[in-house]
Structure 1
Amino acid sequence: MNTSENGAEAGAYPRRLMIFMLFLICVLNFADRAVFSALAQVIKADLRLTDLQLGLLQGLVFALLYAAVGLPIGLMAERFSRKRIIAGATAIWSAATLATGLAGSFAQLAASRLIVGMGEAGFTPPTASMVADVTPRNRRASTMALVMLGTPAGIFLGATLAGLIASHWDWRTAFLAFGLPGIVIALIFVWIVPEPVRGQADGAAASKEPAPPVGVFLRAVASNRPLVWVIAGGSLAGFGMTSISQFLAVFLARTFDLGVREAAASFGSVSGISIAVGLLVGSFGTDLLSRRDPRWPAWGAAIGLVCAPPIYWAAFHASSFAMSIVLLLIAGSFLLMFFGPTTGMIQNLLPARMRASGVALYTLLYTLIGSGLGPVFVGGMSDVFGARAYAGDYAAACPSGLAPKGATAAQAAACAEASAAGMQMALTLAVLSFLVAAFCFLRAAPGLRQHAQTSA
Structure 2
Amino acid sequence: MFVVCLFDFADRAVFAVLAQTIKVELRLSDFQLGLLQGLAFAFLYALLGLPLARFAEHASRLKIISACTAFWSVATLWCGFAQGFIQLAVGRIGVGIGEAGFLPAANSLVGDRFPRSRRASTMGLIMLGTPAGILTGALIGGHVAEIASWRHAFFVLGVPGLVTALLVVLLLKEPARGLMDSGSTKKTPAPDFPAFLKALRAKPALMFIIAGGAMAGFGNTSISQFLAVFLARVHDMDVRETAAYYGMISATFLTIGLLVGSFGTDWLARRDARWPAWGGAIGLSMAPLIYFVAFNTQNITAATGLLILAGSFLMIFYAPTSGMIQNLLNPRMRATGIAIFAMLYTLVGSGLGPTFIGFVSDVMSAIAYNGDFAVDCPGGVARDLSDHALVSACHVATSLGIKRALMVAVCVFFVASLFYYLASRTLREDFYSPEKDDSASQGVN
Aligned counterpart in structure 1 of residue 114 of structure 2, from 135, 140, 150 = 135
- Does the CA-based 8 Å contact 2:235-2:298 persist in structure 1? no
Structure 1: tracts of 5 or more residues without a match? 1-21
The answer to whether structure 1 residue 397 and structure 2 residue 376 are counterparts is yes
The aligned residue for residue 215 of structure 2 is 236
The aligned residue for residue 75 of structure 2 is 96
The code of the aligned residue for 2:30 comes to: D
- Listed as ranges, the matches of 1:124-203 within 5 Å are 124-203=103-182
The code of the aligned residue for 1:400 comes to: G
The code of the aligned residue for 1:43 comes to: I
- Does the CA-based 8 Å contact 1:35-1:175 persist in structure 2? yes
Aligned counterpart in structure 2 of residue 211 of structure 1, from 182, 190, 202 = 190
- Whole-angstrom CA distance in 2 between matches of 1:135 and 1:288: 16
- Whole-angstrom CA distance in 1 between matches of 2:303 and 2:81: 35
Q: CA deviation at 1:210?
A: 1.5
- Whole-angstrom CA distance in 2 between matches of 1:70 and 1:223: 23
Q: CA deviation at 1:201?
A: 1.1
The answer to whether structure 1 residue 365 and structure 2 residue 344 are counterparts is yes
The aligned residue for residue 442 of structure 1 is 421
Q: CA deviation at 1:455?
A: 6.9
Q: 1:404 aligns to what SS in structure 2?
A: coil
Aligned counterpart in structure 2 of residue 416 of structure 1, from 381, 395, 415 = 395
- Whole-angstrom CA distance in 2 between matches of 1:206 and 1:251: 51
Aligned counterpart in structure 2 of residue 427 of structure 1, from 378, 403, 406 = 406
- Does the CA-based 8 Å contact 1:206-1:352 persist in structure 2? no
The code of the aligned residue for 1:334 comes to: F
Q: 1:49 aligns to what SS in structure 2?
A: coil
Q: CA deviation at 1:380?
A: 0.2
- Whole-angstrom CA distance in 2 between matches of 1:150 and 1:39: 20
Query: Which shifted more, 131-140 or 405-414?
Result: 405-414
CA 1:323–1:455 in structure 2 vs 1: closer, same or farther (change >3 Å)?
farther
- Does the CA-based 8 Å contact 1:294-1:452 persist in structure 2? no
- Does the CA-based 8 Å contact 1:315-1:324 persist in structure 2? yes
The aligned residue for residue 385 of structure 1 is 364
CA 1:409–1:30 in structure 2 vs 1: closer, same or farther (change >3 Å)?
same
Aligned counterpart in structure 2 of residue 332 of structure 1, from 307, 311, 331 = 311
The aligned residue for residue 294 of structure 1 is 273
The aligned residue for residue 320 of structure 1 is 299
Structure 2: tracts of 5 or more residues without a match? 436-445
The aligned residue for residue 442 of structure 2 is none
- Whole-angstrom CA distance in 1 between matches of 2:18 and 2:384: 21
Aligned counterpart in structure 2 of residue 83 of structure 1, from 62, 67, 88 = 62
- Whole-angstrom CA distance in 1 between matches of 2:154 and 2:90: 15
The code of the aligned residue for 1:183 comes to: L
- Whole-angstrom CA distance in 1 between matches of 2:307 and 2:185: 43
- Listed as ranges, the matches of 1:280-291 within 5 Å are 280-291=259-270
Q: CA deviation at 1:451?
A: 2.8
Q: 2:425 aligns to what SS in structure 1?
A: helix
Aligned counterpart in structure 2 of residue 278 of structure 1, from 250, 254, 257 = 257
The code of the aligned residue for 2:350 comes to: S
The sequence identity of aligned pairs, in percent, is 53
- Whole-angstrom CA distance in 2 between matches of 1:116 and 1:139: 31
The aligned residue for residue 49 of structure 1 is 28
- Does the CA-based 8 Å contact 2:70-2:161 persist in structure 1? yes
Aligned counterpart in structure 2 of residue 69 of structure 1, from 25, 48, 52 = 48
Once the two structures are superposed, what CA deviation does each residue of 1:261-318 show, in whole Å capped at 9, x if it has no partner?
0011111110000000000001100001111111000000000001100100101110
- Whole-angstrom CA distance in 1 between matches of 2:430 and 2:41: 36
- Does the CA-based 8 Å contact 2:113-2:175 persist in structure 1? yes
The aligned residue for residue 12 of structure 1 is none
Q: 1:423 aligns to what SS in structure 2?
A: helix
- Whole-angstrom CA distance in 2 between matches of 1:310 and 1:192: 45
- Whole-angstrom CA distance in 1 between matches of 2:11 and 2:69: 11
Aligned positions, number: 435
Q: CA deviation at 1:453?
A: 9.2
CA 1:444–1:455 in structure 2 vs 1: closer, same or farther (change >3 Å)?
farther
- Whole-angstrom CA distance in 1 between matches of 2:102 and 2:393: 44
- Does the CA-based 8 Å contact 1:385-1:421 persist in structure 2? yes
- Whole-angstrom CA distance in 2 between matches of 1:425 and 1:407: 28
Q: 2:81 aligns to what SS in structure 1?
A: coil
CA 1:308–1:455 in structure 2 vs 1: closer, same or farther (change >3 Å)?
farther
The code of the aligned residue for 1:348 comes to: N
